[in-house]
């Protein structure tokens, strides 16, 4: 798999992980303008089948104050498409920083 685009987000420490900030490149990957995401729960754009695993990783990260967690999951684009991504996130002071990279499933390694 190859990387095709990436963006960065900041989230609050609540179980819903509300977006506090998103880089402009969120539009390139998911079709959302940063303003579209602010205040929304991160789980609103996680593909339904991936919410359980993502929620577990989020809780473990907060409880254990992990440096970083890495997940491969699907996000819903603004058009409703499933976008495969690699998400690396961790707690930084009073918020969560996430680096999300779109993966191209059709590319050869």
CB count in 10 Å sphere of residue 96: 23
Give the global pTM: 0.85
Dihedral-angle region of residue 11 (phi above 0 means left; psi in -120 to 50 means alpha; beta otherwise) = beta
Quick check: 25 and 4 in contact, CB under 8 A?
A: no
The one-digit pLDDT tens for each residue of the chain (109 residues) are 555 799 999 999 898 999 999 999 999 999 999 999 999 999 999 998 988 788 777 777 677 666 788 899 999 999 999 999 999 988 888 899 999 999 986 655 4
């Amino acid at each position: 798999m190859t990387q095709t685009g990436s963006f960065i987000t900041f989230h609050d420490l609540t179980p819903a992980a509300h977006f506090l900030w998103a880089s402009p490149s969120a539009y390139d990957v998911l079709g959302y303008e940063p303003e579209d995401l602010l205040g929304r729960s991160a789980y609103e754009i996680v593909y339904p089948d991936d919410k359980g695993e993502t929620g577990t990783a989020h809780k473990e990260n907060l409880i254990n104050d992990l440096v970083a967690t890495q997940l491969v999951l699907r996000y819903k684009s603004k058009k409703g498409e499933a976008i495969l991504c690699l998400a690396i996130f961790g707690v930084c002071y009073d918020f969560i920083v996430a680096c999300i990279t779109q993966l191209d499933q059709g590319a050869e390694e």
